[in-house]
Amino acid sequence: MAIKKILVNRDLCIGAASCVVSAGSVFELDSENKGVLKQHGGVKNSGPAKKMQLENSAISDEDLMLAAQSCPTKAIFLYNEADKQIYP
Ligand code: SF4
Q: Is the Cβ atom of 78 under 6 angstroms away from ligand 1?
A: no
For residue 71 and ligand 1, the question of a CB distance below 6 A is answered with yes
Instruction: Single out the residue of 78, 51, 74, 47 nearest to residue 65, CA to CA.
Output: 78
Domain around 29: 5-87
pLDDT 10s digits, 30-73 = 999 999 999 999 999 999 999 999 999 999 999 999 999 999 99
CATH number of the domain to which 54 belongs: 3.30.70.20
What's the pLDDT score for residue 68? 98
Cα of 28 from ligand 1 centre, angstroms = 9
Cβ-contact 71, 16 below 8 angstroms: yes
- Domain count within the chain: 1
